[in-house]
Amino acid sequence: MNFSVSTLHLDGVAQLYEHRLWLAFLFLLLYVFVMLSDSLVVYIVCSQRRLHQPMYVFVVAVLVNSAVGSTSIYPKLLWDLVQGCRVVQVSRLACLCQAFLTGSLGSSSFMLLSAMAFDRYLSICRPMRYAALMSPYTVTALLLVCWMLPACRVAGAMFLSSRLPICYTQVTRIYCDTYTFISMSCGGASTRISNMYGLMSATITIFLPVTFVLFSYGRILVICLKRSRTFSTKALNTCLPHILVFMNFSLTASTELLHRLVPKMGHILTSLKSPSFSKMIFLWPHAFSKT
């Protein structure tokens, strides 16, 4: 049992070693695509006045999360692949910081998706009160909640993780997350407390937003079934890109939670797929149709 371990070892890159140069090239393309597509969408939203609406404010917020999250993972991963590292050494503090970024940004994106669902719900189901309910003050408050609540949740998890006794200094990961420290810990009461906290906080910042999104789109579907075909088609077209992005985030989160059941190589590659897929959907022209 060791509370003072300062260096951790991540051997997930070893699973990619045989094809590391091809994968480095692929990940470089993905990272460049993520950053350029994020910048393009943000530019489009900022430059077109008709897109200065709550829906697209939340889109920009999700893209900011994506850019920051990708930057916290891809550059270091690319360097490790090019250098041919089989086992990556990382300081415990750096690992905690990366775990905080990936965890808080991932949870924040889920909450932002629920805010987008709330916006679509008000726009379609409460059109007469939409402007009053989704005011600039409301949008600002939702943004703060979507960013601050996950940050506080993950900060608590990082505090508990930093106090776990470390029995193993090596784990099969390519980047640090909250599970990294739990998998390296010695078990016992501290680990159980950390697991319970993680489960409870994940329920608040992930499963509750998921439930709210399902409720919102269930209500939207009911409204669409009662209206004309033209109205229903227009409403569903504005919602479909968001639904696909939501499903992509949900699938990725489920893979992360059930990663013990996924082969190591598959888990490693799956954990990197979400940003690029989400950007392609956000760039879909229907995402910028008028509502």
Give me the tens of pLDDT residue by residue for the chain, a chain 291 residues long: 444 567 888 887 877 778 888 888 988 988 898 888 888 888 988 998 888 889 889 989 988 988 898 898 889 888 888 888 888 888 888 888 988 998 888 889 888 988 988 998 898 888 899 989 999 999 999 999 999 998 998 898 888 888 877 777 787 788 888 777 777 777 677 777 877 887 777 777 777 888 888 888 888 888 887 777 777 777 777 777 777 777 767 666 665 555 544 445 444 554 555 444 455 444 444 344 444
- What pLDDT score was predicted for residue 50? 85
Strand 88-91 with 7-10, pairing: antiparallel
Question: Distance between CA 99 and CA 179 in Å, rounded?
Answer: 9
Question: Distance between CA 116 and CA 30 in Å, rounded?
Answer: 25
- What pLDDT score was predicted for residue 256? 56
Token output for 120 = 């679509």
Beta bridge partners of 91: 7
CB atoms within 10 A of CB 57: 20
- What pLDDT score was predicted for residue 139? 95
Within a domain: 259: yes
Within a domain: 238: yes
Within a domain: 7: no
Token look-up 């990619």 returns: 16
Sequence-distant (6+) residues with CB within 8 A of 252 are: 270, 271, 273, 274
- What pLDDT score was predicted for residue 148? 93
Within a domain: 200: yes
Q: For 172-233, where are the E strands, in sequence order?
A: none
The CATH number of the domain holding residue 229 is: 1.20.1070.10
Give the H or E element holding residue 8.
strand 7-10
pTM for the whole structure: 0.80
Number of structural domains in the chain? 1
- What pLDDT score was predicted for residue 281? 46
Domain range for 183 = 13-162+170-288
Within a domain: 96: yes
What is the rounded (10 degree) CA torsion for 205, 211, 216, 221?
150
Q: How far is CA 251 from CA 51, 244, 245, 288, in A?
A: 29, 11, 10, 24
Q: How far is CA 120 from CA 17, 26, 153, 156, 236, in A?
A: 45, 35, 27, 32, 10
- What pLDDT score was predicted for residue 195? 77
Within a domain: 8: no
Within a domain: 5: no
Q: How far is CA 122 from CA 129, 177, 228, 248, in A?
A: 8, 35, 18, 23
Question: Distance between CA 150 and CA 169 in Å, rounded?
Answer: 27
- What pLDDT score was predicted for residue 123? 87
DSSP letter at 7 equals E
Q: Residue 89: what are its φ and ψ, rounded to 5°? A: -90, 135
